[in-house]
Amino acid sequence: MAHLLPAALEKLIDELGRLPGVGARTAERYAYFLLKADQHINISLSAAIHDVHALVKTCPVTFALIDASEEVSQLYSDPDRDKQLIAVVEEPLDIVALERTGQFKGTYHVLGGAISPIDGIGPEQLHIPELIKRLVKDDVKEIIIATNASVEGESTALFLQRLVRDAGITVEMSRLARGIPVGVDLEYADQITLTHALEGRRAL
């Protein structure tokens, strides 16, 4: 059977299709764009992909992503950051979202995911022991559990709360408030969001 597209282009489409959220049609559009693009764009993209493993590493304290030349995350080493306040997140990119608010002046701890038995992810696969050590080492006063508002995120938050209490560590624990997004009707809000919206209600 004759190839509909050149083999090299089909290979590029297949590889782009491996990316999360990229379906067959999107992969085809990306590949066709790269085929038509100036060669400098392709070279720059190729170099960025090649360098990402060599030039990016994980902070040994916070498990955030840092430059390979850094010892620890600047968000931890910065003397203006409050080491006694930790926001616990699932993934490194969650830090970016919180930092964009400009409201958080503490440090972070990346778990590396959430507890999900169906996916074979238990507490032992996450950076939980390192968090417990930090609570003692940095004399942490408060941790904000900023895991996602999903079943896995909620399970992880509850596990952390029990673990910290069972360890006898005195620290204030809080959870990010959840609410109904602006422009969303109640009938379209999921059960978890509605539950948190009720729990986080405030007087008028």
Q: Hey, what are 150's tokens?
A: 């999903």
- What dotted CATH number matches 7-57? 1.10.8.420
Domain chopping of the chain, boundaries: 7-57, 63-175
E strand intervals along the chain: 56-58, 65-67, 82-89, 106-110, 142-145, 172-175
> And the tokens for 6?
């050149």
Phi-psi region of 145 (alpha: psi -120 to 50; beta: other; left: phi over 0): beta
At residue 204, the pLDDT reads 46
Query: Quick one: CATH architecture of 63-175?
Result: 3-Layer(aba) Sandwich (3.40)
User: What would the pLDDT profile of 134-179 be if each residue is shown by its tens digit?
Assistant: 999 999 999 999 888 788 888 999 999 999 999 898 999 988 877 7
- Whole-structure pTM value: 0.83
Kindly report the CA angle at 73 between 52 and 21, in degrees rounded to 5? 45
